[in-house]
Structure 1
């Protein structure tokens, strides 16, 4: 591979050398390379690479070390991308209509970047090598074509948070709709294949699968939790063996440095526990797991120290912004952005569409999103089983439909001014919806 940076020959640091995406067959190669910024005066850097007789060009902003006072530091939020429903590359078209000056410096992909277990009625082979080949094709479409996520990847560095569809619905538990998950040996074969392609396409070195990932843009610090790849079948833990220690060390650092934190999770920390039938038939939620209380107690230390925290997630197929207050003072703000392309759900989609048709015929109600659910209100108290009635919830806004969100930060008055903008992924999108999150300090 021959590299150029702004027209001059360059050699990047090799964070992970090129290697096959899985061990069973040498088809797609992936690697991770890092360049030092070309110069402080250049608003964009141009990277050219030449290999095997072909070439590619990438134009990117140098990654900032701190949040500025004039220019906004922007973070794109995206989750739940079902490529088969992304008709006519709609996600790419909507994203490319965002003015270049308002695009992200960092992308956070918050789970379900692929749906390895779909279509549901397909007969999946019970063989790791054949599964890995199939999963690799899904990733290749989503990563390297305009029909997938490629335009978003090309705009900025990306960090990934895995959720269940990086494996199968409700992973690591057996799912009634995924035949390969019914037997332990079959689940293990599927996991072997899914782990390898996840490592190849989504895992960001020097972190390893299961590690939490930290991105610092002073005074903002973002921790991306991996609560899926090491999740325990007995529901004892969502984090890997060192995950809770990493979280507590991060909290210590934020308190000592008076930083402002954001935590990315694959599911909402506000979800109340579900019962055994719902958990087994659909999805267990974070509050059903043994380390939920310890995670929340770590985050509570930030509230005790007066450090504001953003809770960022996807998963649920609707958008919502919720303030979490203590005696009128904002301690946490949860921002949900989901989905970017709604997954097909056999039966449920048809029922929702029929219901929307009846409401339109009999009541004159029209909806732009007949298949999408509306966001419910959260419970009135944040995790009462852990905190009692200490923290109250207050919904700021709800957002229905396929969506992207753009968080933006700017230094102001001894803190960070913050806002989030929702973009509809629709053939005729409404105007972007901006929500002021106020001053974080």
Structure 2
């Protein structure tokens, strides 16, 4: 039984929030949200998702706070039954990118959180201590996939198949366990409720290598099993990790596009997103007025996965025919682009020069809590060429990886953005997840200025 308040996307004058009540029979006739002395009525608009078995249910609302002030902190408190049930905070976006003489716009980048691992509880305290004791206080968080591992533990799902009802209850329970992970001033719940979360999905919001058959997931061996799992997982994703219908947001001339390369992926390795979404990326690239930030679920600088990798691991973006179109679009940019991603269980910084003064940088941050030691602990440099295989209409470019930054421990990254003349200054710091009462120590790993 849990009450949840999770900030979603924010703008300079508004904020989207998700409020949930899980397996709790309390009345909501007097429910309200307080924020900096203001009140939002929550007595109406509740939706209910109940598993077919009837064993689990969540009542929830997606609400939007409006007429907020730019770059302002708001303290949130959800109450019902005369009691405070859940709290959180947000910071709205600045209207303009700060100059080098002002506090930078700070973005946290993270992915791959396996809540079943005992050390995963440390994420919340590391994040809160970063916010409290360091100058790297984040404005927003970008969570670019695998916020839940619905197919964990793999050994269990290799041995068992499930009816629709049993699978739905299992996946529901996994989300609840992850979203409510909480100890005193730590846990994933503390991480989520403090600061805006911009979500996108990857395979473990479904199963490893979704939507394709996975050798280690017995339910995925049959078409009906895959259909059931996809339906349930998409329902839960829409409830617990809602996304705005508008994937872009701007801070002055700095522009973000939060893409999802998993939810609409097809099984024949043709497309990893809808044609409409790809056209939206193309329009975004063509109309950039400054540096662009593209958020995707898997690395752009990658080789095709071979038969073994695709069968026992996951198909990479270059395995999809649509990858060629994405590469062509990015190569035509008139401004530098940062690609933010995760998935691979290590941190890496790589870049290539598209033409004079125009670069594509890829920043990887993964994992925050490694799902299994067998799939972590090693680092790989980016392929030497982008794209690896020649694509008509593009010229292959040399890719350089930063060998001073080879992170393989549980961590997240912060990116600080400032305006410097007509360019954007970017500073990257890594923060390893600290345990045993240790304070997080953000370490600067790179700095560059882009046009």
TM-score w.r.t. the length of structure 2 is 0.83
Q: Check if 1:48 corresponds to 2:68.
A: no
Quote the residue 2:286 is aligned against: 252
Q: Secondary structure in 2 aligned to 1:172?
A: coil
2:129 maps to which of 68, 84, 97: 97
Q: Which moved more, 1:235-244 or 1:55-64?
A: 55-64
Per-residue Cα deviation, 1:375-406 (whole angstroms, up to 9, x for no partner): 21211111132457642111122212111111
Quote the residue 1:352 is aligned against: none
Q: Secondary structure in 2 aligned to 1:399?
A: coil
8 Å Cα contact 2:412-2:432 kept in structure 1: yes
2:408 maps to which of 400, 407, 410: 400
Q: Check if 1:140 corresponds to 2:176.
A: yes
Per-residue Cα deviation, 1:320-357 (whole angstroms, up to 9, x for no partner): 11121246755111100000000126xx37xxxxxxxx
Quote the residue 2:149 is aligned against: 115
2:236 maps to which of 197, 203, 214: 197
Superposition deviation, residue 221 in structure 1: 1.1
Larger helix proportion of the pair: 1
Does the C-alpha gap of structure 1 residues 39 and 389 become closer, same or farther in structure 2, counting only changes over 3 Å? closer
8 Å Cα contact 1:21-1:136 kept in structure 2: no
CA-based RMSD:
2.4
1:28 maps to which of 46, 50, 58: 58
8 Å Cα contact 1:381-1:389 kept in structure 2: no
Q: Secondary structure in 1 aligned to 2:327?
A: helix
Quote the residue 2:423 is aligned against: 415
Unmatched runs of 5 consecutive residues or more in structure 2: 1-30
Does the C-alpha gap of structure 1 residues 48 and 281 become closer, same or farther in structure 2, counting only changes over 3 Å? closer
Unmatched runs of 5 consecutive residues or more in structure 1: 208-212, 350-371
Quote the residue 2:442 is aligned against: 432
Q: Check if 1:160 corresponds to 2:190.
A: no
Per-residue Cα deviation, 1:222-254 (whole angstroms, up to 9, x for no partner): 112111111110111100242111111211221
Quote the residue 2:268 is aligned against: 234
Does the C-alpha gap of structure 1 residues 379 and 9 become closer, same or farther in structure 2, counting only changes over 3 Å? closer
8 Å Cα contact 1:220-1:260 kept in structure 2: yes
8 Å Cα contact 1:264-1:311 kept in structure 2: yes
Does the C-alpha gap of structure 1 residues 432 and 102 become closer, same or farther in structure 2, counting only changes over 3 Å? closer
8 Å Cα contact 1:262-1:312 kept in structure 2: yes
8 Å Cα contact 1:311-1:333 kept in structure 2: yes
8 Å Cα contact 2:331-2:354 kept in structure 1: no
Tell me the distance in 2 between the aligned counterparts of 1:86 and 1:79. Answer: 17
Q: Secondary structure in 1 aligned to 2:385?
A: coil
Tell me the distance in 2 between the aligned counterparts of 1:34 and 1:252. Answer: 30
Q: Secondary structure in 1 aligned to 2:107?
A: strand
Deviant stretches of 4+, over 6 Å = none
Per-residue Cα deviation, 1:54-89 (whole angstroms, up to 9, x for no partner): 323323223323321212111111100001114372
| 1:374-389 aligned within 5 A | 374-386=378-390
Alignment coverage as a number of residue pairs: 402
Does the C-alpha gap of structure 1 residues 412 and 177 become closer, same or farther in structure 2, counting only changes over 3 Å? same
Quote the residue 2:106 is aligned against: 74
Quote the residue 1:171 is aligned against: 210
8 Å Cα contact 1:326-1:392 kept in structure 2: no
Per-residue Cα deviation, 1:25-70 (whole angstroms, up to 9, x for no partner): 4611232222135546x84222222224532332322332332121
TM-score w.r.t. the length of structure 1 is 0.85
